[in-house]
Each structure stands twice: as C-alpha cells, then as structure tokens.
C-alpha cells in the first residue's frame, strides 16, 4: 500500500477517485438490499424506545414531580421497563410539552405520562398519540377528553384537598373572619375546581368564615408578595390565606413577615422543600400534598398492562395528605416525601 503524502493539488484527484470507486461498487448493490437495510435501521431505532415510558411533568425539577419520578422508576424496574424523564423546568411551558409528546410519538415509545400545563392546548398531540395506539396517562388533575382504550387518568382527589384545607382552618379555631385565595389559574387543570370545592367545604364547617378575595397566580415570588400585601392592607380582619402554588405560598409568607401580621394562617396545596422549611418554622400552617409517588407507580402499571393487551382502570384517584408540624417528621410522611428516583439495588 502506498503511504506517501499527497500534495494539495493531488488531494482533490484522490477524493474523486475514491468517490468514483464507491459509486461503481454501489451500482452493484441491488435496490431491494438497500431498502431492506433502511427498514432494519428504522426498526432498530424504534425498538430502542419500545420499552421506554416517556414522562412529561409540568416542572421536571419540582419536588412534587421528583417524587413522581421516584415512583415511576421503581415501578418500571419491577415491570422490566425504563423511564425517560423530560419536561419544563421551573415554569409551565405548554409548547415544550407539545414538542415532547410529538417526540415520543415519533420514537414509538411504550407510553406517555403527561401532566398537562393547560386543559385544552395538548388535545391534538394527545389524540395523535392515541391514534398511533400509544398508551397515554394523564396525571394530576383531569382534562376533558373523549374516552379511549389507551387513555387513563391517575388523579389527586381535589375535593379532598379542599376539604382537608377547610377542616384544618376550622380545627385551628378559625370560625369567624375573612379568607383569601391566591394562585388561581383558570387554564391550569383542577385550579378552579379546587377553589369551588374549598368554598363549599368552608361554608359547611365555618359559615362565618367568608372568602373576600380570589386572585390569580403571580409570575414571581416578588409579585406574589406585593399581591398578598395588598390583600392584607385591604382586609384587616383576614385570618387565613389559601395558596394554590409555591410562588403564592412563599410570597405570602414574605408579606406576612414584612408586615408583622400574626394570626393569619397560611395553607398551601403545593409542595417544595422551601415550603417544608417554612412549615417547620411555623410560618406556614399546613401543606396539602398529593401522593405523587403512588400516582407515578400506578401510571407505569397502567401502561405496562395496556402493552400486554390487558385492561387498565380508566380513572384512579389518590387521596392527598395534610402535613403539619405535628406529623411532618413521622415515618409515613418521610416515606411520602422521599425523592430518591434512582433504580432499586
């Protein structure tokens, strides 16, 4: 073989010679063989994903969803499957969720577990997945969608979340006064349902407690602080704040401290480590937390069953848990909040 160095003028000629040689060989390959090779390559690529469940949370880094990730990972290991975890980080991004659903469809994943950021925005993408016979699990709160054999819902009991909040306020002795609700988002699945249920249960346990303010969700903690401060100035008889998200909870806690407003109980239906720290310090009075670990496990079990050709329950509802200073260090609560998503040894 000739290993001599080629000059700059000789290199193009050499490349042309090699290319001509390759094309002459390629001409001898029957088209049928080329087509078969292409099909096999595409088939192998799809096979790489047909045992992988594509999980798309609302906030991939949020504490609640890391708990979901833990439950899914451990259930997938038992079922001989894998989890691919990807989603928006720190904000609700519907466009990114749609892109991720489309990617899962293109890859022919084993199934999709989705926590929608909006009630209707993902309908077309979800329908495409179902048309392709890809099992889809909607996790968290329900969205309106026609029944389909490959569509299941794994939900938090929103009515119980509202009842636990109302009863917690009543049990703390707050039966007269004013209440405000923050963080309401009509687009987010379950938000308005939670508020209406809270009004119903509050009227049952404490008719003299009146909801005097219902405001939307703030984009930042600073905005939530200003919103809460305005509510506190306008309602000096306020005895409770019900925050539907972590932004409203942390912003509300900041406003209460800066304005030195004691006697106002703060309860949230969201969960983060920072909120848990506020609970330990007595700034937050209660957290209503979804059992995301168990819900993640059920989502995987549904997909595994559908992949085997077996039926899965169309709707599964899980009870939330009230976390207070009294029970936050108990073993059941520690297990509920465990966020270790690594595979079991």
The pLDDT score that the predictor gives to residue 340 is 77
Q: CA 332, 338, 344, 345 torsion: positive or negative?
A: negative
Reply yes or no on domain 159-289 having CATH 3.40.50.2300: yes
For residues 289 and 336, give the distance between their C-alpha atoms in angstroms, rounded to a whole number: 9
Give the model's pLDDT for residue 339.
Answer: 80
Cα gap 193→183, rounded to integer Å: 13
HSE-up of residue 289 (Cα within 13 Å, Cβ side): 31
Domain with CATH 3.40.50.2300 in the chain: 51-156+292-319, 159-289
| Rounded Cα–Cα distance for residues 80 and 313 (Å) | 21
Q: Could you tell me the end-to-end alpha-carbon distance of the chain, in angstroms, rounded to an integer?
A: 54
- Residue 239, pLDDT score: 95
Q: Over its length of 345 residues, how does the chain's per-residue pLDDT go in tens digits?
A: 333 333 334 444 434 443 444 344 444 445 554 444 444 444 444 556 789 999 999 988 888 899 999 999 999 999 999 999 998 876 678 999 999 999 999 999 999 999 998 889 999 999 999 999 999 999 999 999 999 999 999 999 999 999 999 999 998 887 789 999 999 999 899 999 999 999 999 999 999 999 999 998 878 899 999 999 999 999 999 999 999 999 999 999 999 999 999 889 999 998 999 999 999 999 999 999 999 999 999 999 999 999 999 999 999 999 999 999 999 999 999 999 988 766 544
pTM: 0.82
- Topology classification of domain 51-156+292-319: Rossmann fold (3.40.50)
Residue whose pair of structure tokens reads 């966020």 in the numeric block: 339
- E strand or H helix at 140: strand 136-140
Tell me what pLDDT residue 218 has.
77
CB atoms within 10 A of CB 314: 12
CB 186 within 8 A of CB 195: no
- The pLDDT assigned to 243 comes to 96
Inter-CA distances, 301 with 15, 84, 102, 115, 274, Å: 56, 16, 23, 17, 31
Distance CA 101, CA 138 (A): 12
Nearest to 173 by CA among 209, 123, 218, 146: 209
Q: How far is CA 54 from CA 15, 87, 114, 130, 137, in A?
A: 44, 10, 8, 14, 10
- The per-residue pLDDT for 70 is 93
Closest to 98 measured CA to CA, from 114, 110, 85: 114
């Amino acid at each position: 073989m000739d290993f001599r160095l080629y000059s700059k003028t000789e290199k193009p000629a050499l490349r042309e010679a090699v290319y001509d040689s390759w094309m002459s060989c390629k001409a001898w390959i029957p088209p049928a063989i080329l087509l078969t090779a292409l099909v096999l390559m595409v088939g192998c690529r799809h096979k790489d994903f047909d045992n992988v469940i594509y999980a798309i949370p609302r906030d991939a880094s949020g504490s609640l969803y890391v708990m979901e990730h833990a439950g899914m990972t451990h259930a997938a290991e038992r079922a001989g499957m894998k989890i691919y975890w990807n989603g928006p980080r720190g904000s609700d991004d519907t466009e990114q969720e749609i892109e991720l659903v489309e990617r899962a469809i293109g890859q022919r994943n084993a199934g999709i577990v989705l926590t929608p950021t909006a009630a209707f925005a993902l309908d077309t993408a979800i329908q495409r997945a179902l048309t392709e016979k890809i099992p889809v699990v909607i996790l968290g709160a329900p969205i309106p969608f026609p029944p389909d054999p490959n569509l299941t819902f794994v939900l938090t009991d929103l009515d119980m979340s509202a009842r636990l909040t109302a009863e917690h306020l009543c049990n703390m002795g707050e039966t007269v006064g004013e209440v405000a609700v923050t963080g309401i988002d009509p687009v987010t699945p379950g938000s308005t349902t939670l508020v209406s249920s809270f009004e119903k249960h509050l009227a049952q346990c404490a008719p003299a407690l009146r909801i005097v303010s219902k405001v939307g969700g703030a984009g930042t903690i600073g905005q939530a602080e200003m919103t809460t401060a305005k509510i506190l100035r306008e309602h000096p008889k306020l005895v409770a704040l019900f925050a539907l998200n972590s932004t409203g909870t942390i912003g509300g806690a900041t406003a209460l401290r800066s304005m030195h407003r004691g006697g106002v109980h703060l309860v949230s239906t969201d969960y983060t480590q920072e909120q848990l720290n506020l609970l330990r310090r007595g700034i937050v009075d209660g957290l209503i937390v979804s059992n995301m670990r168990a819900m993640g496990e059920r989502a995987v079990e549904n997909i595994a069953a559908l992949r085997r050709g077996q039926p899965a329950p169309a709707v599964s509802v899980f009870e939330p848990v009230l976390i207070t200073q009294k029970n936050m260090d108990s073993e059941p609560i520690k297990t509920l909040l465990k966020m270790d998503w690594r595979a079991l040894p």
